[in-house]
Structure 1
Amino acid sequence: MSDPINLKLAVLIDADNAQASIVEGLLAEIAKYGTAHAKRIYGDWTLPNLGSWKDTLLRHSIQPMQQFRYTKGKNATDGAMMIDAMDLLYSRNFDGFCIVSSDSDFTRLASRLRESGMTVYGFGEQKTPEPFVAACDKFVYTEVLREDAGGDATTRKSGKELKRDPKLVTLLRNAVDSAADDTGWAGLGMVGTAIAKRSPEFDSRNYGYAKLSGLLKAMQLFDLEERPVGRGPNKALYVRDQKTAAGA
């Protein structure tokens, strides 16, 4: 597989289910995963409700794709996005897709793209139905992207609040355990990979922490340790479940 930094990505945005205020944060996030070689946004641009997008599209070189609503109440935009996604897939010019929508109608599309070996990144609001979230390799809630673009910061949860979230505690402990060596220690990068496989929507920013290490430290359920990498100045973070340490 290609180096993640060099992934060629197709970005498909559902204008009916996304807001212009996320675009700067969205493109910055996408740049972490690869390069946006195609940026398209779908909607009926004859309607006034999409007016907020127009300046944003020009500034970020996003190509608007016109799709008229042939029948009231029917979403023709979804169909146009799906057709274009398959055309781009068969072009064999891309390594992955970014689908920007909170609409569950894209669940099958995400699954189909992954079946063809594509990496799929989803972006939508926290109201996005779970099937679409689970169908993606990685899912980012756009509320945190609006923060990156200057919105209100997510309230940081305290260690006590984090500990009272059994789903979060179980997820992190299982991830550390699966990545740990015989001593119970695991590299933080491997822990992050294990988390992503179990929960594509996990993001420490959803809890008010910029990095996974900050979230783990705040919970006070894990030991963190810096270790040198080779003979250079670089260091790597390792994590261990305190329950494992107590039982050693």
Structure 2
Amino acid sequence: MDQDTSNKLAVLIDADNAQPSIVEGLLAEIAKYGTANVKRIYGDWTSTKLRGWKDHLLDHSIQPIQQFGYTTGKNATDSAMIIDAMDLLYTGQFDGFCIVSSDSDFTKLAARIREEGLYVYGFGEQKTPDPFVAACDKFIYTEVLRSEEEADEDSSIQRMSTNELKQDTKLVNLTRNAIEASSDESGWAHLGQVGSYIAKQSPEFDPRNYGYGKLGNLVKAIELFEIEERSTGEGQSKAIYVKDKRK
């Protein structure tokens, strides 16, 4: 389903658990996976806490859904999002859902949508609990979606050095396993297939989490893998292949 703009997506945003500074990056990211036919954002719009979001709603055609906090300690916004998501799911008109929140309360919802064969894209901060991340087909940390000014101030997404990357055992093993699973008899693997394998194994994987815009740049920076560009025979286009240097 990735990279198919014909897919119809429902975008549901938890205003209490998402920052307005991500809105442009968020919608640009969603556009990679399909068309946002529904864009709704949930919260108590009588509260001054959501004032930052109000400036973006008309500009990006996001429909605000009013949800009062009926009782202290209960998150009525979550309940409203879940009910709406199920209503939209049962219409059968969507190919996938984008759930924007860092709240683990949406774990079961994501799992339920996937049971119906639809894709679930999660968007949340790096503090998002692992169960919600794992319940999604793909999870994008919103730190990488902020404006450039804010990104420069956010140490969590600074580019990691080669030494730091090599010491990240999870990253190295994930990449090696993906290459091994995707490689031919000579040990070379097409980078696109490597990326697809990694995405299935780790929904939250994103080169931008390490400060690199592309998977190829990240793999190259690790310096444990060989990289080779090959002509596809179609004009000037190139295909990138990678290989474990230990092979």
Q: 1-side partners of 2:19 and 2:2: how far apart?
A: 31
Is 1:170 the counterpart of 2:173? The answer is yes
Residue 233, structure 1, aligned to residue 236, structure 2: yes
TM alignment of 1:145-156, pairs within 5 A: 145-147=145-147, 150-153=149-152, 154-156=157-159
Superposed displacement of residue 2, structure 1: 9.4
Q: Following the alignment from structure 1 to structure 2, what is the Cα–Cα distance between the partners of residues 13 and 223?
A: 41
Judged with a 3 Å threshold, the aligned counterparts in structure 2 of structure 1 residues 228 and 139 are, in CA distance, closer, same or farther, namely same
The answer to whether 1:211 aligns with 2:214 is yes
Aligned to 1:125: 125
The alignment covers a number of residue pairs equal to: 243
Any residues of structure 2 matched to 1:99-118 within 5 Å, and which?
A: 99-118=99-118
Report the Cα distance in structure 1 between the residues aligned to 2:226 and 2:167, rounded to whole angstroms: 19
Residue of structure 2 equivalent to 1:197:
200
Q: How high is the sequence identity, in percent, across the aligned residues?
A: 68
Q: What's 1:224 paired with?
A: 227
3-state SS in 2 of match to 1:5: coil
Distance 1:232 1:116 in 2: 41
Q: In the superposition, relative to structure 1, how do residues 3 and 129 fare at CA in structure 2: closer, same or farther (>3 Å)?
A: closer
TM norm structure 2: 0.96
Segments of 5+ residues of structure 1 without an aligned counterpart are: none
What SS class does the counterpart of residue 5 from structure 2 fall into? helix
Tell me the amino acid that sits aligned with residue 95 of structure 2: D
Secondary structure of the structure 2 residue equivalent to 1:86? helix
- Return structure 1 stretches of 4+ with deviation > 6 angstroms: none
Separation (CA, whole Å) in 1 of partners of 2:120 and 2:177: 24
5+ unaligned residues in a row in structure 2: which ranges?
none
Give 3-state SS (helix, strand or coil) of 2:230's partner: strand
Listed as ranges, the matches of 1:1-248 within 5 Å are 4-147=4-147, 150-153=149-152, 154-244=157-247
Distance 1:2 1:163, change over 3 A: closer
- With normalisation by structure 1, the TM-score equals 0.95
2:150 is paired with a residue whose SS is coil
Q: Please tell me the root mean square deviation across aligned C-alpha atoms, in Å.
A: 1.3
